[in-house]
Amino acid sequence: MKIFKDFDFKAYNTFGLEVRTKYWLEVADEVDLPRAIETADELSGGQFMFLGGGSNVLFCGNYPGALIHLSFGGIQHSVLDHGQILVEAGAGVSWHELVRYTVERGWWGLENLALIPGSVGAAPIQNIGAYGVEQGDVFESLRGVPLNGPPSEYMKDQCAFAYRNSVFKQQMKGKMVITRVRYRLHTEPHPQLAYKELKAFFDPTGQHDGRGLKPDQIADKVAEIRRAKLPDPAVLGNAGSFFKNPVLHGDDADTFRSNFPNAPLFEVRGGSKLEGLCGVVNRAMRVERSSKRICRRIAGACLGIGALRRRSWTRSLDPCPGHHALGSR
């Protein structure tokens, strides 16, 4: 484990913001994790958090505590019966690297999730998803280290995966660090082409089931579509394909609809989803340089959308400890 003081972590947040943290703890070996947590706790007086690829956190200024960055990796796999493969990756592996590892071997399951930024360790937290697939669809289990306790295993039925949600974003939030994640993949074709851009490319006539395809063809197409839609965060910091959109309930939705009849409000299970916040954030990124100004602009724009009560807003943009960071989605 390495400890740095007054550390500039611009290279570790995909917004590319000029931000520093009082302490930065680099954990390259899983066995050092309990000691790292203890040290971070002591140094920061309890104000510490974990950081993976920094692609789902917006820092609104310097971080006054300690950031623990997990860089341990490793991908292993074992072949099971009935054409199934169990793949395990360390928290510090880049998500896309894991996807490439699997599709290059012809295994099905993660191909639609190509090019999502971030680390394997963070993927289960918000149950990352794209192009009609979520990581929870092929998730097997994970290993985590609670802040006060021995490492434990979490099976899929304990994770409460839902739309960009999981138990790790709810009851377990901030209470555990994910160290390894396992996925159960298939050697037999399982193409998921329901998403309209994939369907239009691979099955324009609706007469193929896609079983002649290889998973890397789908991963490559997904990556191509993503690159066409979004700037590479390594070149231009941006908020990604979407924020978790606020869902308005009951009277809130009715009031909003009558005040803003043209707003993009779509029915979802349990409410009405307001789309378009991602555009607000990306516009703010284009015109502002300081992280404080970006945060002010985002907050102003979202409140300016109108009729959104504070509870709707805070549910979609989740403040991290100390309110020095905004976790998105």
Residues of this chain that bind ligand FAD (CB under 6 A) = 14, 49-57, 70, 91, 116-119, 121-123, 125-126, 128-130, 177-178, 230, 233, 238, 240-241, 320, 327, 329
Cβ 91 to ligand FAD, closest distance in Å?
4
- Cα–Cα distance between 199 and 192 in angstroms, integer? 9
Cβ 56 to ligand FAD, closest distance in Å?
3
Cα 9-13-16 angle, rounded to 5 deg? 90
Q: Which residues pair with 146 in a beta bridge?
A: 176
Residue by residue, DSSP assigns 232-278 as: -TTTS----S-PPPPEE-HHHHHHHHHH-TTS-EEEETTEEEEP-HH
Q: Which is nearer to ligand FAD, 309 or 320 (CB)?
A: 320
Residues in contact with 308: Cβ distance below 8 Å, sequence separation at least 6, in sequence order? 246, 248, 252, 256, 274, 302
Q: Which residues pair with 94 in a beta bridge?
A: 119
Q: Which is nearer to ligand FAD, 60 or 122 (CB)?
A: 122
- Cα–Cα distance between 182 and 144 in angstroms, integer? 12
Cβ 260 to ligand FAD, closest distance in Å?
26
Distance from the Cα of residue 297 to its chain's centroid: 23
- The phi and psi torsions of 327 (rounded to 5 degrees) equal -85, 135
Residues in contact with 173: Cβ distance below 8 Å, sequence separation at least 6, in sequence order? none
Cβ 258 to ligand FAD, closest distance in Å?
32
Q: Which is nearer to ligand FAD, 85 or 120 (CB)?
A: 120
Q: Which is nearer to ligand FAD, 45 or 304 (CB)?
A: 45
Cβ 28 to ligand FAD, closest distance in Å?
14
Q: Which is nearer to ligand FAD, 132 or 327 (CB)?
A: 327
Cβ 270 to ligand FAD, closest distance in Å?
20
Q: Which is nearer to ligand FAD, 136 or 191 (CB)?
A: 136
Cβ 189 to ligand FAD, closest distance in Å?
23
Q: Which is nearer to ligand FAD, 171 or 207 (CB)?
A: 171
Cβ 177 to ligand FAD, closest distance in Å?
4
- Cα–Cα distance between 52 and 34 in angstroms, integer? 17
DSSP-derived pairing of the beta strands 63-70 and 57-59:
unpaired
Q: Which is nearer to ligand FAD, 259 or 314 (CB)?
A: 314
DSSP-derived pairing of the beta strands 63-70 and 20-27:
parallel
